[in-house]
Amino acid sequence: MGLAELLLSKGESDEARTLVERLMPPSGEYQERIEHLSSELALGDTAPDASEEELRKKLEENPEQADVLIDLGQVLAAKRRFPEALDVLLRAAALDRALAHARVKKLMVDIFHVIGIRSELADEYRTKLGRLLY
């Protein structure tokens, strides 16, 4: 698990994934760390091919594109810019409730696993998303 964390921090996600897959399904005293690693790998896997700059340019042209906001949130999350990613995802959720219940919620939960399920940042955005959805 430590080696997988080190590999992931160096950007060697394929090697880290191989090690994490051996630890699945997570259980026992290391369950939280394994889930954290798995979620962090998932964030990188789901990032769109478009660059942050391309996505920001699209948003300059039309800031009401929820799907582009979600893509930008994924890119920011993959870059470990979690507060900014969560802000962008919350904006997307406000624009499109259907996407909020599906893609946004799942992506935010993945981020919560990476930053810590009970961290202040996760608690803050879980509350904000909950207010928006219900």
Q: 14-46, pLDDT tens digit by residue?
A: 899 999 998 888 788 888 888 888 888 888 777
Long-range contacts of 99-103 (CB under 8 A, 24+ apart): 99/66, 99/67, 99/70, 100/129, 100/132, 100/133, 101/133, 103/70
Distance CA 66, CA 38 (A): 26
Could you read off the pLDDT of 118-131 as tens digits, one per residue?
999 999 999 999 99
Q: How confident is the model at residue 85 (pLDDT cuts 50, 70, 90)?
A: very high
- Please give the CATH architecture assigned to the domain spanning 49-133: Alpha Horseshoe (1.25)
Could you read off the pLDDT of 43-78 as tens digits, one per residue?
877 778 889 999 999 999 999 999 999 999 999 998
Extents of the domains making up the chain: 2-45, 49-133
pTM listed for this prediction: 0.81
